[in-house]
Amino acid sequence: MGAIGTFLQAIPFDLIVIQTVNGIVTGMILALIASGLTLIFGIMDVVNFAHGELFMLGAYIGFVVFVTTGNFWLALIGASAIVAVLGAALQIVALRPLIGRDPLNTILATFGISLVLQNYALWQFGPVVRKIPEPISSSFTLFYLQYPWYRVLITALSAAIIGGFWLYLKHGKLGVWIRATAQDRLMAQAMGIPVPLVYTGVFAIGAAMAAASGVLFAPMVGVSHTMGLDWVLKAFIVVVVGGMGNFVGSIVAAIFISLLEAYAAIWVDPSHAVIVSFVVLILTLLFRPTGLFVATPR
């Protein structure tokens, strides 16, 4: 009894609660990024290497809109819209000519795009980290912490965006087209669905989701030109762990991995907590290469 007692005392319950909240907050943002990535992959067979850059660009555009208008919500909508248009343009210029070629070509092409976008951001904005202030500054008391309501709000907003998109996919016209194209591209085309347009639309939607998460996340960490790669790596891990192209799986995996990393950060240095997601990835590859959250391994 005494041993169990000391063991229980050794677990810092307050820290665990705080880290659970933190993990869910980052998990939802990661889910928003990863769901765009997995959407683009599931429907177009394109691994979008530039996804992190769209996320980063979204944050920068959000910053610019915020500085000019002073309205955070306008920045969120404006950045999403602009990046959606940019995504559509990129898809038409660089990815459409590659349809029908080996899918590895699209990795290379999106990698090239990511280089251009990242260096453009560095060139345009410089290496200084930019800040977008939080739109609501109130906070509530969580144990000894003043926990900002804003973080709770982003979680809810991310969930709302993902949920809204899910409903749209189920009932919206383009959503039905997207699902039909994902099921059988040739048949969809035969039924009169404009498949190239669907591809462009999907890429634009994915880009907009990345941009939205960029703006939402910016008040927490600041905007820099390197943020894209860090997050796209995490999103890739999430997508592989959740099962490539599996929409629900990647959302679950995003929260799962963020929670694990948050808990790990209680005991080790946060910069080492990244290793946890790597370990999860390796274990997944070893035992369930098709993804942890796939009902039946293909």
Partner 1 sequence: MTAAPLEKTGSLPAEKTGLSHSVIFWIGFCAVMALLIAAPLMLGEFWRRFLTEVLIWGLLAMSSDLLIGYTGMISFGHSAFFGLGMYGAAGALLIVSPPNLWLAILFGLAGAAGAALFVAIFSTRLRDIYFAITTLIFSQIFYVIIFTWTAVTGGENGLIFDRPHFTIPFLVNVRFTSTTLHWFVLTVVAGSYLILRRVTQSPFGMVLQSIRENEPRTRAIGYAVERYKMMSVMLSGLFAGLAGVLYAIQNEFAAPDFVYFLTSGDTVIFNVLGGIGTLVGPIVGAGFFQLARQLLAQWFGDQFPYLIPLGVVFVAVIIFLPQGILGFARRWLNR
Binding site for partner 1 (CB under 8 A): 41, 47, 94, 97-98, 100-105, 107-109, 111-113, 115-116, 118-120, 122-123, 229, 233, 236-237, 240, 244, 269, 271-272, 274-275, 278, 281-282, 285-286, 289
What is the nearest approach in angstroms of partner 1 to the Cβ of residue 44? 12
DSSP symbol at 139 = E
100-103: list long-range contacts, CB under 8 Å, 24+ apart.
Answer: 103/45, 103/46, 103/47
18 vs 33, beta carbon nearer partner 1 = 33
216 vs 253, beta carbon nearer partner 1 = 253
What is the nearest approach in angstroms of partner 1 to the Cβ of residue 245? 10
From the CB of residue 12, how many other CB atoms can be counted at a distance below 10 Å?
13
Residue 197 φ/ψ region, left for φ over 0, alpha for ψ in the -120 to 50 degree band, beta for the rest: alpha
Alpha carbons within 13 angstroms on the beta-carbon side of residue 28 total 21
113 vs 188, beta carbon nearer partner 1 = 113
As given in the structure block, the two tokens for residue 211 are: 């941009």
16 vs 275, beta carbon nearer partner 1 = 275
**C-alpha distances in Å from residue 58, one per residue of 73, 82, 103, 158, 248:** 13, 8, 26, 15, 24
237-241: list long-range contacts, CB under 8 Å, 24+ apart.
Answer: 237/277, 237/278, 237/280, 237/281, 238/30, 238/31, 238/34, 239/34, 239/37, 239/38, 239/41, 240/281, 240/284, 240/285, 240/291, 241/280, 241/281, 241/284, 241/291, 241/292, 241/293
What is the nearest approach in angstroms of partner 1 to the Cβ of residue 62? 22
171 vs 269, beta carbon nearer partner 1 = 269
From the CB of residue 175, how many other CB atoms can be counted at a distance below 10 Å?
17
What is the nearest approach in angstroms of partner 1 to the Cβ of residue 31? 18
As given in the structure block, the two tokens for residue 129 are: 């980290």
41 vs 177, beta carbon nearer partner 1 = 41
Let me know how long the chain is.
298
54 vs 157, beta carbon nearer partner 1 = 54
121 vs 157, beta carbon nearer partner 1 = 121
175 with 168: CB under 8 angstroms?
A: yes
What is the nearest approach in angstroms of partner 1 to the Cβ of residue 110? 9
What is the nearest approach in angstroms of partner 1 to the Cβ of residue 254? 15
As given in the structure block, the two tokens for residue 61 are: 């555009």
